[in-house]
Chain A
């Protein structure tokens, strides 16, 4: 019998470090700032800035190529968004979308600096099964399923001036 945990373990969840350097990350952040974010403030779900469908075709294509290398799947862009979290911000698990179509989700950390504790967690039944620590330049590649929920951990107010910027790209089979 295959347990759910075994089923999840058979999927890919990995972190690729140093995918983007600080110069490119700063350029992307600058473009995102110019295009503008919208504040999300339904506080029972999240507190963050969001930019839907950011116009970053080259970066999205590069991430799709990376995802192909990691998963072996031919993938195309399903959707993308940029998130910006400051001190006191968060995005809760029940605000996450349920995925029953096994999308591949990439989260690229575009932050100017690491922020202790500002991690991304994938949980199954409340238990963390995969974690992306705050690590500028790194990208996580996760094959999503219906049993896992993703949340962006609370950014402590002890880190005044913290700025966490993440590009979230979801890919589906071509």
Chain B
């Protein structure tokens, strides 16, 4: 399922791109999964139940933190097995395992600005892989913010990059106390993704 294409062959260049990316380290890979594998990938998710989650910073539908089906568990395991070694070398953050949930953002769903950095959780890298949607979304972009910090406190924020949720695109970004990001509100269609974190 997960096959690293030529875009992954030049790891020193990717490492340079990772370090140079603004407002914080991230990489974007298009055409991540071979086209022929996409139907199989989508079929893998068909039986995974999702439910609505809502808090002060989010509203979306998602699978449970622990997959309900063997298929998604296997997908998660193979994703980590294939991606963790090269990402460890590219990002200089040793990672070994990943979690993974399926997300469905419908009209009106959002994830407001936050960093994924939480003490004790050990999240090192975040990822989002956008799946082909039967109704391509309007909105739903991943927005990255630049933060100014004084004495350990964020004192200013500004939008710095928008990443469209294009189908078959993988985004990997750094987890830190200033990796502020959001999923903009979906204003039309359906945004489907697999997302989670890599851990040391």
- How many pairs of A and B residues are in contact by the CB < 8 Å rule? 43
Are A88 and B145 also in contact (CB < 8 A) when A42-B154, A42-B156, A44-B180 are? no
Query: Would you mind naming 30 contact pairs between A and B with Cβ atoms under 8 Å apart?
Result: A41-B157, A42-B155, A42-B156, A42-B157, A43-B113, A43-B145, A43-B157, A43-B182, A44-B113, A44-B114, A44-B154, A44-B157, A88-B185, A90-B112, A92-B56, A92-B57, A93-B56, A121-B56, A123-B56, A126-B55, A151-B56, A153-B56, A154-B59, A154-B110, A154-B112, A156-B185, A157-B185, A158-B107, A158-B185, A158-B187
Tally of contact residues, B, Cβ under 8 A: 21
Whole-angstrom distance between the Cβ of A32 and the nearest chain B Cβ: 25
Whole-angstrom distance between the Cβ of B190 and the nearest chain A Cβ: 15
Tally of contact residues, A, Cβ under 8 A: 18
Determine whether B44 belongs to the interface, using a CB cutoff of 8 Å to chain A.
no
B contact residues vs A (CB 8 Å cutoff): 55-57, 59, 107-108, 110, 112-115, 139, 145, 154-157, 180, 182, 185, 187
Complex: A123 Cα to B57 Cα, angstroms: 13
Closest to A156 in B: B108
Chain B residues with CB under 8 A of A92? 56-57, 112
Given contacts A42-B155, A154-B59, 12 further A-B pairs with CB under 8 A are A42-B154, A43-B182, A44-B113, A44-B180, A92-B56, A93-B56, A117-B108, A123-B56, A126-B55, A151-B56, A154-B112, A154-B185
- A44 near B187 (CB under 8 angstroms)? no
Chain B residues with CB under 8 A of A158? 107-108, 185, 187
